Structure 1
Amino acid sequence: MGAVKTKRMPRAVREQQMLDAAVRIFGQRGYMAASMDDIAELAGVSKPLVYLYLNSKEDLFSAVIRREAAALAAAVRAAVHPERPADRRLWDGLLAFFTHTARHPDAWAVLHLHARTHGEPFAAEVAAMRSEIVAFVAQLVAATARDEGAPCSGEAGSADTRRVRLAEQEAAAGLAEALVGAAESLAAWANTTDRVTARQTAATLMNVAWAGLGDLMAGRSWSPPAE
């Protein structure tokens, strides 16, 4: 009796199949505990084929990080439509973030936990994705300031106006860092419980963020007490 022939599959499709299996194994077990044997078995291929396509465990982990980081960033960007009001843009971005991380908990575990704890080049891959999202959120915050008519005195192009705009950019960058950091922590928490939905998690952060942004846009900023 002849050997059973397996159906040939395009290389790109087979590679994605391997990456899908790797996301699950890496996400649930971590980098060190994950084995190429288990990844190959879950993907339904031989271990030599995994090495042929993706070279090494390190290269496979890097490929997983790049793919999942790109998917998360793309999901957030695709959800935000520039013609919508400022609060809706921020809400859409937050909802997309929490929806994606809830639907792909293993991928989020790879990005938020495992990649950051195993040094370079893995941490750098995640840092690049995070920087992209922070920059995008900073643009949303700056756009919110413009839409809400945040006060800016001085003639266009004057030194005072340039200083104010620089301060606004720095404030937007700081707020973006705070929002992304809070979103990361909330996503990690939400993925450990079935008591909250992605929508509820997004609403929690939106209430904190929008209330604070509203006060800032109206010129009601909090100041620390005098020393």
Structure 2
Amino acid sequence: METGRESVAGTKRLPRAVRERQMLDAAVTCFARHGYQTASMDEIAELAGVSKPLVYLYLHSKEDLFTACIRREAEALLATVAGAVGDPDVPPDERLWAGLLAFFTHAADHPDAWVVLSRQARTQGEPFATEAARMRDEIAAFVAGLIGEAAREARDGAAITERDVTALAQALVGSAEALAGWANETPGVTAREAAATLMNFAWAGLGNLMKGERWSRR
């Protein structure tokens, strides 16, 4: 049976970054499958193909490992969305569509990561919830920027206040998160279909609001 020392010596040929990526990949799978409390460091090490002492050597503790998973997956999702909406020469509605499609596609392509970010991180208290909230706030900021741009370009865009923009962005992001979870768990629902559903719902409402047509109870 391999000892921790032998395992460390046997893996020196691999760069540390590669070995850590293997550990994080394994950890994301285990945390998504079992949850933070139940996931076992033994299983994570076995899935990564390393010894448990090596996991502790590189990532120190289960809490640190879980935090590292959340940060890595959040950064990957944020980079995907930011890259999709980054062209300032594209109209705001096209950029919003690109961002939504990128968001849903990333969640569909990385279902374990999405479970960790959208469920596990938010239900285990601190410091995990703060990491998840930081990701959500950054995505909401992207969306708010796009809604604000669209409002400024609209003829009656002044009808939307900064508070409206912030509230709408939060509502849209919350809807996207819920819809992504449903889409991932519902056979036959594609990322494009989910993105189109939310885009149609959001843009129709935004269009009326930009015209100053607010709903009121009759």
Does 2:39 match 1:34? yes
Give the C-alpha shift of residue 50 in structure 1.
0.2
RMSD of Structure 2 on Structure 1 (CA): 1.6
Give the C-alpha shift of residue 133 in structure 1.
0.9
Distance of aligned partners of 1:103 and 1:151 in 2 relative to their CA distance in 1, 3 Å threshold: closer
Give the C-alpha shift of residue 85 in structure 1.
1.4
1:91-136 per-residue CA deviation (whole Å, 9 max, x = no partner) reads: 0010000000000000010011011111000001101111111111
Give the C-alpha shift of residue 46 in structure 1.
0.6
Q: Report the TM-score when normalising by structure 1.
A: 0.88
Residue aligned with 1:224, SS: coil
Structure 1 Cα separation of the partners of residues 68 and 110 of structure 2: 16
| Residue aligning to 1:160 | none
1:68-105 per-residue CA deviation (whole Å, 9 max, x = no partner) reads: 01111111110012211121111001000000000000
| Residue aligning to 2:57 | 52
| Residue aligning to 1:136 | 142
Q: Report the TM-score when normalising by structure 2.
A: 0.92
| Residue aligning to 1:86 | 92
Identity in percent: 63
Does 2:214 match 1:214? no
In the TM superposition, 1:29-178 aligns within 5 A as 29-80=34-85, 81-152=87-158, 168-178=161-171
Give the C-alpha shift of residue 148 in structure 1.
2.1
Bigger radius of gyration: 1
1:47-85 per-residue CA deviation (whole Å, 9 max, x = no partner) reads: 000000000000000000000011111111100122111
Gaps of 5+ in 1: 153-163
Amino acid at match of 1:103: D
Give the C-alpha shift of residue 223 in structure 1.
2.1
1:171-221 per-residue CA deviation (whole Å, 9 max, x = no partner) reads: 000000110010000001011122110000000000100100111112222
Residue aligned with 2:35, SS: helix
| Residue aligning to 2:3 | none
Residue aligned with 2:185, SS: coil
